[in-house]
Amino acid sequence: MPIVPNDFTLQLIGSDNLSVITKNGTVFTPLNKLQVNLLFKATKLSDKSSIEIPIALTVEGSHKDNGINAKPFIIPSLREWVGAEGNFVLTTKSRIVVDTKDASTLMQAATVFQNDLIELGALKPTVVVGVPKTGDIFISLNGNKEELGVEGYSLSIANYISINAAQYKGVFWGTRTILQMLEQDAKLSSLPKGISRDYPKYEVRGFMLDVGRKYFTIDFLRDYVKLMAYYKMGDFQLHLNDNAFVKHYNNDWESTYSGFRLENERYPELPTKGEFYTKKEFIDLQILAESYGVNIIPEIDVPAHSLAFSKAFPQIASKEYGKDHLDINNPETYTIVENVFKEYLEGDSPVFRFKEVHIGTDEYDKKESESFRKFTDHFIKHVQSFGKEVRVWGALTHAQGITPVTSKGVTMNAWYNGYADPLKMKELGYPLISTPDGLLYIVPAAGYYYDYLNVKHLYNNWEPVTIGNTVFHMGDPFIRGGMFAVWNDVAKNGITAQDVTDRVFPAIQVLSEKMWSGTNKVVAFNEFSKKAKNINEGPGLNLRGLIKSKDSLVLNFPLNGKDKIKKGRHTKYVSDGKIKVLNLKKHSSHVKLPYNEIGYNYTVAFKINPSKNNKENAVIFQSNHATVKLKQGKTGNLGFSHEGNDYDFGISIPEDKWSSIAVTGDNNSTTLYLDGILAKKLTREKVSTGSEKDSIWVMKTLFFPLNTIGNESNSFVGKIKDLKVFNTILSTAQIQAIKEEE
């Protein structure tokens, strides 16, 4: 303990490693020697003034060194590790064994783990309850809650693997560690022997997705739960309502895009038609998240960002600040918003299942500070009346005033220090989630904030204790953790769900490390980045459309009848000169390919001979995300479509004649080669929109569809051959060489 004068009292208020030194001063011996940052509060008895005193302590470990086997590379990295000698190998006899006394709690984790091992292609272990034998994986809840907390676990890899935690989430995180180890083994079976204690540095490790301005399917959100869990990211915030900028729509509020994404029975006019989640879908999403250790944080954003509300209820729109602002001096505004929250919060089985709910509350005009503060306080208490804790966006420095706003049971996303000064918010009693916009906001293709986060800078320099230019002491209990965000400010700009994932994935890999382990001084960014390429999204997921192979040619189908293609409908192989080619005879002709799609960077090459008089929108290739069309609408040109948007290359493909086609795609453009010659490059384009010479960037990217050739109802009719798919972008010379091949 630090020495202080006699007229002071001293209190330990924080530790940046609660699994080694707890807030009450209990010390749990780590495996390795560690430095722990403690935060003390010294209070003067005479006037109750206080100062904070940070102290760094070295705690000796139970082992003198890191042992024999090197610490395995995991994202986020293991906090403690001592390597033994040799390897553990999974076999066909290996089982997942659940401790008998914990069977009712852990069976769900065991079942998910079993399915993941099958998806990974490792083995098909049985799940049993009982005592482990050599070769098994044993999961139990024998851990000390004070030591391991909600999320920590101990891991032993010896004759059998043991994952031991105090709560479900800790065990589940341990299974993610095992999966990542196996994924990096060529045979998906071998793990280095050793022991580990693993636990998070920060409680909140989150990602926020703006689904209000851009609709994402419920299946996409379900996949993101699994993706986040694979990296031990525990908070998934869904920004359920918002709207685009009126300036992009000729300053006409009625035509400005807005979204509200959750079924509402009391106000059925509120959810966006065709683009919302049913209550059952949303509840099922949360049930899935519970089994994966992820908290769903639903956000209904009021009283700004609320055009969806005022379109449904014009009488509560602000007449002074724009229709995306609710009139917070109108009692009916309170009634409607109360009823919306009530529908999702009331009853024994509420729609919002988790303990925290986000109520938005930011970016309202500061002239209404007192009314805004009253509104915020009212809805904090309204949501809390249903037994929930509340999250809000930081706004109280912007909206200064004398109206008190509840801080007990409220956590604030500290996103911009001009809107909420982090130090002042701490003084007011608000725990903070570090969400600095200047570092952690992705706004795809907008031209401001980040298109892709600067992950190298974040890896080397950021931790949640840094909020803007304010840096808190390590271990400060008011910093709950951090969160990054994707804001889809520019609605209808061509950004697809796949484009969003292209931006999110590298950020998740880096930020999961920073929020679980803190700054890694052992592994440099370049080494981390290189090794991270060997860890993907988690078993059963391929959101990035990766196709791996020994070389860049991942698919080579002459389409002559000898390829491994499942038999399609209304297709046959016909002679064409000395070879056979695939002939699609009808508008219902199609064959199934072994993949769904390929993501950036790729080259897809094929030769096509369309018959005369193909229909509009005749499909050449299709996936569940996109179609490539011989004739895009009425244009007659080769093109593609996804998420309701149509693009064409401005070039028609000759009929009754063989043409050599190649398409390349990256995260910024889609390029067509016709007969080996560059024909058209579609790239992000600045398009005039709205008023006052306003413009937005429109993207023209494509995850190339590879699920089927043709389509059940509107296939192109004609012949196709020589399909080649590369997981790289070929040069013009290489594409020319493919054209010459026969």
Half-sphere exposure of 559 (CA within 13 A, CB side): 27
State the CB neighbour count (10 A cutoff) for residue 225: 22
- The answer to whether residue 68 sits within a structural domain is no
pLDDT tens-digit profile of 246-279?
999 999 999 999 999 999 999 999 999 999 999 9
Which of 178, 198, 218 terminates a domain? The answer is 198
Same domain, 494 and 367: yes
Catalogue the long-range contacts made by 110-117 (C-beta closer than 8 Å, 24 or more residues apart): 110/139, 112/172, 112/175, 112/291, 112/292, 113/137, 113/139, 113/175, 113/178, 113/179, 115/539, 115/540, 116/175, 116/179, 116/538, 116/539, 116/540, 117/179, 117/182, 117/539
- Does the CA dihedral 236-241-247-248 come out positive or negative? positive
- The answer to whether residue 491 sits within a structural domain is yes
Same domain, 457 and 562: no
* Least confident stretch, 120-134, 635-649, 680-694: 680-694
| CA angle (506 as vertex; 502, 511 as ends), nearest 5 | 135
CA gap 20, 36 in Å, rounded:
8
Domain of residue 478, CATH code: 3.20.20.80
The letter for the amino acid at 213 is: R
Question: For the purposes of burial, counting CB atoms within 10 Å of the CB of 75, is it exposed (0-12), middle (13-18) or buried (19 or more)?
Answer: buried
Per-residue pLDDT at 3: 84
**Section 111-116 average pLDDT:** 98
84: confidence class by pLDDT, cuts 50, 70, 90: very high
Catalogue the long-range contacts made by 258-263 (C-beta closer than 8 Å, 24 or more residues apart): 258/212, 258/307, 258/308, 258/311, 258/324, 259/211, 259/212, 259/213, 259/214, 259/215, 259/308, 260/212, 260/308, 260/309, 260/312, 261/211, 261/212, 261/215, 262/298, 262/344, 262/351
Per-residue pLDDT at 694: 84
8 Å CB contact between 470 and 427: no
Half-sphere exposure of 291 (CA within 13 A, CB side): 17
User: The tokens 């010390």 sit on which residue?
Assistant: 27
Domain that holds residue 15: 8-59
Same domain, 299 and 250: yes
Checking if the pLDDT of 690 tops 80, the result is: no
pLDDT tens-digit profile of 316-354?
999 999 999 999 999 999 999 999 999 999 999 999 999
- The answer to whether residue 589 sits within a structural domain is yes
Same domain, 87 and 52: no
pLDDT tens-digit profile of 541-581?
999 999 989 999 999 999 999 998 877 888 999 999 999 99
Same domain, 293 and 241: yes
**Section 621-629 average pLDDT:** 98
Per-residue pLDDT at 689: 86
pLDDT tens-digit profile of 444-456?
999 999 999 999 9
Same domain, 358 and 274: yes
- The answer to whether residue 543 sits within a structural domain is no
The tokens describing 561, both together, are 């009848």
Which of 144, 174, 198 terminates a domain? The answer is 198
- The answer to whether residue 542 sits within a structural domain is no
Contacts of 186 by beta carbon, 8 Å cutoff, 6+ apart: none
Checking if the pLDDT of 122 tops 90, the result is: no
Same domain, 208 and 187: no
Which of 533, 565, 592 terminates a domain? The answer is 533
Domain of residue 572, CATH code: 2.60.120.200
Per-residue pLDDT at 740: 86
Checking if the pLDDT of 512 tops 80, the result is: yes
- The answer to whether residue 619 sits within a structural domain is yes
CA gap 156, 163 in Å, rounded:
7
- The answer to whether residue 460 sits within a structural domain is yes
CA gap 679, 521 in Å, rounded:
49
Contacts of 43 by beta carbon, 8 Å cutoff, 6+ apart: 8, 9, 10, 11, 49, 50
Three-class DSSP category at 222: helix
Domain of residue 106, CATH code: 3.30.379.10
Same domain, 625 and 486: no
Same domain, 192 and 218: no
**Section 689-702 average pLDDT:** 87
For the chain, what percent of residues have pLDDT higher than 70?
Answer: 100
pLDDT tens-digit profile of 26-79?
999 999 999 999 999 999 999 999 999 999 999 999 999 999 999 999 999 999
Of 631, 606, 632, 705, nearest to 665 by C-alpha is: 705
How many structural domains compose the chain? 4
**Section 356-385 average pLDDT:** 97
State the CB neighbour count (10 A cutoff) for residue 654: 12
Average pLDDT of the chain to the nearest whole number: 96
**What is the dihedral angle through the alpha carbons of 50, 54, 60, 64, rounded to the nearest 10 degrees?**
170
Same domain, 349 and 274: yes
Same domain, 325 and 276: yes
Three-class DSSP category at 415: coil
742: confidence class by pLDDT, cuts 50, 70, 90: low
- The answer to whether residue 209 sits within a structural domain is yes
Same domain, 217 and 343: yes
Helix (H) and strand (E) counts for the chain?
A: 14, 42
CA gap 666, 340 in Å, rounded:
42
Q: How far apart are the first and last CA of the chain?
A: 80
Distances in Å between the alpha carbon of 327 and those of 252, 271, 334, 337, 339?
18, 20, 9, 11, 16
User: Which positions are catalytic?
Assistant: 363
Contacts of 723 by beta carbon, 8 Å cutoff, 6+ apart: 555, 556, 557, 558, 559, 604, 605, 606, 709
The letter for the amino acid at 474 is: M
Checking if the pLDDT of 692 tops 70, the result is: no
